Amino acid sequence: MSAAPQHPQQPAPDDPAAERVAAELAAVVGRLSRRMRTVRPAGPLTPSQRSVLARLDESGPATTAALARAEFVRPQSMRLTLGALEDRG
């Protein structure tokens, strides 16, 4: 018989180290997101458009609201992204 697989111990929900790491990660993701918006896209599609197309390719058809939730944007913003994609054909 083999030993049961060992899983890393999960930090307690109120662990200050976990909270610090989460805060630092949120800050880094925010900076990266802002940086990505300021850099001109390398191709004909924006990062948002590429992300939406990849999500649709992976998951299949979705409503504007579902895409907005999945991409963490407002439905109005998603409508603009989808409109730009539709304009491109």
Asked if the structure places residue 80 within a domain, the reply is yes
32-71 confidence digits (pLDDT tens):
888 877 776 667 888 899 999 999 999 999 999 999 999 9
Asked if the structure places residue 34 within a domain, the reply is no
State the pLDDT confidence band at 13, using cuts at 50, 70 and 90: low
Q: Please tell me the predicted confidence (pLDDT) of residue 69.
A: 96
Give every CB contact of residue 57 below 8 A, 6+ residues apart in sequence. Answer: none
> Would you list the DSSP string of 36-74?
HHHSPPSSSS-HHHHHHHHHHHHH----HHHHHHHHTS-
Q: Please tell me the predicted confidence (pLDDT) of residue 78.
A: 96
Q: Give 3-state DSSP helix, strand, coil % of the chain, rounded to 5.
A: 65, 0, 35
Asked if the structure places residue 16 within a domain, the reply is no
Which residues span the domain enclosing 55? 45-89
Type of residue at 87: D
Select the more confidently predicted residue: 3 or 51: 51
